A and B are shown apart, each in its own frame.
Chain A
């Protein structure tokens, strides 16, 4: 985020002086990136393997993708994942917009710091603690609403992920356009609807997308709170992985990686456009 707003140390100086340079740093960085990506690439490559073995290459095939998509359990799990992610994202994003408007624009007031702390709580708490606490709570109040439990738990931890990009966007926005609108006799609602909201949109989309992947990918909390019959994709994959390594898992995992990649890239590109926009002002 910060990288393109500060243009960095003068690029000309960087080439002339070797002073900022340390031996081995470049090698470490490239080895690090290889370490980060080689396992993922191997997973993707072997998902197209023609053999039943998940780890010896025999030739290209889409067999495992067809098999995974044709599996009824996978389809059910995928539908569950999408339902949960969709509801959690919508609710989390809507409440995050209002919270961000108050915290970024509402001036100083008592309890502001505390409110921020509570909003960030799901992000700072170790997932396993949230998971067992939520399970205990649902059990204590005897809340037995199937997939609804998963939806509630996901909504909670999606809120901070939706909130942060929206707040960042609000902080980078100046209020001149809104003032201009009010000078032109727009009432408060009109100002919000036709000025603030469109300007805020990139932050909202970014936050919603991040919430969506965080929800689609969640495993630990879902594992604890999901009752039998409410399996999501990560739970299904976990079950399969524990049974052993099969190429079907590779195919499913690759699909999930692709989904995450598309969402993060889109969110990133929207974020970059936003920075270009503020830089021009």
Chain B
């Protein structure tokens, strides 16, 4: 009995501080924006404590001069663009990331470790600085344009910065390590005997890829895709710096509501919608096909 009490006590004391900090300063704040999203906005910042569904209505409708609700697709378009950019980024990351992860896993141990290290470093460096690198390259008077003109290849600078192309490039650049690493973790464990066996049974390269490697790499591909898709959807730095704030994405839309345009309930609602996309994506990961494939891969 005393033993039980003391282990119980220990668990509370051990986990208490960490859970307390996250609970009080993260779970409570999320509860607060849920409450805020159902209130009226205060033009001077913050909210007026009155119940209202205005914030959610604002996604689809706006009020005209007669105070009637009229359909407004502006915000839907922002969500649509964010989704398209996030899906496009995920696809391109997969296209580059899968061959890279596979190639890395086939290297001798020393080079393999070096390559993993090289892919990991950008993750730990400042996102802002990595976006800034691309401003340096893509600007009208940037490195690429300057040298292209200097060498006489073009006369007029190419407009590359502040375009959808720049956003896309920046999103892929900053998120691709999240695709490579989980796939690598899977294919690295791939049993070479399986490939040999398939080869002995006259499997072609394509068949080998489709029936042996891809099924075993699938959980890594799913994890990587989520790890790219989710942060892309809410990204704020890249669309702001490389898109010049012209091409809004969900992240910048949320930030604007708490900054310049000051509509906290609407910003809270947008944040919650973004959060629910993330939760849905995570649930797909936990209960979806990834789970079924895990034991198969470990065998």
Residues of A within 8 A of B (CB): 2-4, 6-11, 13-14, 17, 19-22, 24-26, 28-29, 32-33, 35-37, 39-40, 42-43, 46, 53-56, 91, 94-96, 98-99, 101-103, 106-107, 109, 115, 118-119, 121-122, 124-137, 139-140, 152-153, 155-156, 159, 163, 210, 213-214, 217, 219-220, 223-224, 234, 237-238, 241, 245, 249-250, 253, 256-257, 260-261, 263-264, 268
Contacts and interface: CB of A to CB of B under 8 A. Distances in A.
Contacts of A137: 25, 28-29, 32
Contact of B278 (A54, A102, A124, A132): A124
A152 B28 CA distance: 14
A245 B278 contact: no
State the majority secondary structure of interface residues on B: helix
B120 A3 contact: no
B27 A118 contact: yes
Contacts of B11: 102, 106, 109
Interface stretch (B51-59, B72-80, B185-193, B287-295): B185-193
Contacts of A28: 96, 99-100, 103
A139 B47 CA distance: 10
B195 interface: yes
A263 B120 CA distance: 13
Interface residues of B, number: 100
A119 B108 CA distance: 36
Contacts of B112: 3, 8
Given A56-B146, A260-B124, A128 B234 contact: yes
Nearest to B36: A136
Given A124-B282, A220-B237, A136 B29 contact: yes
A19 B257 CA distance: 55
B106 interface: yes
A238 B131 CA distance: 10
Interface of B: 7, 10-11, 13-15, 17-19, 21-23, 25-30, 32-33, 36, 45-46, 96-97, 99-100, 102-106, 108-109, 112-113, 115-122, 124-130, 132-137, 139, 141-143, 146, 173, 176-177, 180, 185, 188-192, 195-196, 199, 205, 208-209, 230-231, 233-234, 236-237, 241, 250-251, 254-255, 257-258, 264, 267-268, 271-272, 274-275, 278, 282
Contact of B10 (A106, A241, A257): A106
Nearest to A272: B113
A39 B117 contact: no
A168 B127 CA distance: 26
19 contacts: A22-B102, A26-B103, A29-B99, A35-B173, A36-B176, A40-B130, A46-B136, A46-B143, A95-B21, A99-B14, A99-B19, A121-B22, A121-B27, A126-B234, A129-B30, A133-B32, A156-B25, A220-B236, A241-B135
State the majority secondary structure of interface residues on A: helix
Contacts of A234: 126, 128
